[in-house]
Structure 1
Amino acid sequence: MEELSIAQRIAVWVLPILFAITVHEVAHGWMALQLGDRTAQMMGRLTLNPIHHIDPVGTLLIPGISLLLGGVIFGWAKPVPVSWGRLRRPKRDMAIVALAGPIANLMMAILWGFISRLGIILAPDLTVIGIPLFYMGIAGIFINVILMMLNLIPLPPLDGGRVLVGLLPESIASKVSYIEPFGLIILLLLLFSGALWYLLWPLVNLLLAGLVHFAGIPKQDFIRALLALMGAQ
């Protein structure tokens, strides 16, 4: 595998990132619709057009800086609006809506795994047409696993925090909800201190290993490709 230029790395990451955040948000809105809330549908957010979900800072600026610096890709999209009062059973349904996003990321990670495997089948020596599919699949696996695990952190306003609130007794859930205005600040502090990856990486690594094995991608090829995509080669 040859070293990738910055332009090549950006070209490979663009589609996996856009699909990861777009499908994640659409999954929230779609599940809310199934549970009685049409807010996302009425606001035109049940679409795979990424333009409707892009946050200039979270979708473009932060991932772009992360990519150029060779770090772990991190970002977010505009949250899909959900009206608590329109859900049939608000406390329970909000947890289900929140869980839909990470589940969508897991399904996409599996799909990207098979796309990467297709790249290997088309070009066993990872040349010509197989290269774009292989690298894009690797990027898709990684970004979706990262987004899934980040969002499952039990910290409001992350999806894991909303699931936690939905599961806890009301007296405790209300206290956990008070954290929400400070949740993003706490997350960024954990991220930039390195504590977040220290806690999450064992789980991320385990899930990545399982997906790579399931898709039939040689482990060493996955590692080399991921390092190349992060500019570490």
Structure 2
Amino acid sequence: MFSNMFTQEAMIYNLMILPGILLGFVLHEYAHALTADRLGDSTPRSMGRITLDPRAHIDIIGFILILIVGFGWAKPVMTNPRNYKNLRRDSILVSLAGPLTNFLLAIVFILLLKIFMFTGAFSSNEQLQINITRMLFYSGRINILLFVLNLLPIPALDGYHVLTSLFNTWKYRIFSILEQYGMFIFMLLAFTNILGRIINPITQNIYDLLIKLIL
């Protein structure tokens, strides 16, 4: 894996997906922070997370890992659910805000791709046109991937927070064990490619559907 990451093809691919990942990570966390703030929790604001400045949201190690091995993370937004007016409903809304933002961002990238193809921009420069087309394709797909990944019911992911908000998970010991070893479980699933086998088909199907609907 690591021997192939510095090939010309791999480096070009990483450059192509960079805008999608950067925007996906930043807007995902910003959406969490803004939604929590609007629902009465000022914790993200006090920690400087109500901003589009990438430095507030990007975790360097997580960002590098997603370029190298295909998965990574941003800085999680800290919240205090006790500040919400409706604990269960608002916790779910805050958790869903990030993945839904990735989904909307994917739609934006595909719409930009449609506009780009329709107008024939940069048609005089074939290589530039190809590179921009690939970048928009990759950026749309990477945000569908982030949408699907974050909805998985694995500790530390948004899908798990939705699950724990819907049910009184504190009553069940299995959830305590899952939370204790959540990161280990995630890494194990990622490195054994089980995670990829789960999310890649779902990601591709959703992406193909959006491409057909929009393009």
TM-score, normalisation: structure 2: 0.86
- Does residue 1:10 correspond to 2:7, yes or no? no
CA deviations over 1:18-47 (Å, ceiling 9, x no partner): 100000001101110121101111221111
Percent identity for Structure 1 against Structure 2: 32
Gap runs ≥5 in structure 1: 67-72, 217-233
TM-score, normalisation: structure 1: 0.79
Identify if the C-alpha distance between structure 1 residues 122 and 133 changes in structure 2 by more than 3 Å, giving closer, same or farther. Answer: farther
> Partner of 2:4 in structure 1?
none
**Equivalent position SS for 2:156:** coil
- Does residue 1:26 correspond to 2:25, yes or no? no
Cα RMSD (Å) of the superposition?
Answer: 2.3
> Partner of 1:76 in structure 2?
73
- Choose from 36, 40, 63 the match for 1:36: 40
The list of structure 1 runs, each at least 4 consecutive aligned residues, that deviate by more than 6 angstroms after superposition, is none
- Choose from 65, 68, 71 the match for 1:65: 68
1:170 Cα shift?
A: 5.4
- Distance (whole Å) between structure 1 residues aligned to residue 154 and residue 9 of structure 2: 37
How many residues matched? Answer: 206
- Distance (whole Å) between structure 1 residues aligned to residue 182 and residue 100 of structure 2: 21
> Partner of 1:187 in structure 2?
186
CA deviations over 1:86-141 (Å, ceiling 9, x no partner): 22222332121111111001000000111222232233878255334312211111
Of 147-156 and 89-98, more deviation after overlay is shown by: 89-98
- Distance (whole Å) between structure 1 residues aligned to residue 179 and residue 89 of structure 2: 18
- Does residue 1:215 correspond to 2:200, yes or no? no
CA contact (8 A) 2:151 2:158 kept: yes
CA contact (8 A) 1:166 1:173 kept: no
CA contact (8 A) 1:114 1:137 kept: no
Identify if the C-alpha distance between structure 1 residues 173 and 210 changes in structure 2 by more than 3 Å, giving closer, same or farther. Answer: farther
Identify if the C-alpha distance between structure 1 residues 170 and 8 changes in structure 2 by more than 3 Å, giving closer, same or farther. Answer: closer
> Partner of 2:85 in structure 1?
88
